[in-house]
Amino acid sequence: MAQEKLRFCRLCDIFDSIPGDISAYADRLYSLLDEKEKADSALMKQRIAVCDECDRNSAGTCLECGCYCIIRSMKQDNRCPVDKW
């Protein structure tokens, strides 16, 4: 089976293919990351807690970068675009 290529986070490129259930889509993206690239669940929860309180969060989408907050949170070396995490 060919290795699937994973890009973070250019969802605008593939917006039409994103299903309505973003959590299932996020789970799939997370499963495709190399283990060394993954943020662990504690770090993701910490990041999402910040996003949940952020005035730049619009229904789970970051208005600064256009990413889904959950997807931005899942890669270890990703950063909040305004340095909140």
Distance of closest approach, residue 27 Cβ to ligand SF4, in angstroms: 19
The reply on whether position 11 binds ligand SF4 by CB under 6 A is no
Beta bridge partners of 57: 62
d(CA 65, CA 55): 13
Distance of closest approach, residue 66 Cβ to ligand SF4, in angstroms: 9
The reply on whether position 51 binds ligand SF4 by CB under 6 A is yes
Beta bridge partners of 75: 38
**Over the Cα atoms of the chain, what is R_g?**
13
The reply on whether position 39 binds ligand SF4 by CB under 6 A is no
- Which SS3 state, helix, strand or coil, does residue 46 take? helix
Residue numbers at the binding site for ligand SF4 (CB under 6 A): 50-51, 54, 56-57, 62, 64, 69, 72, 80-82, 84
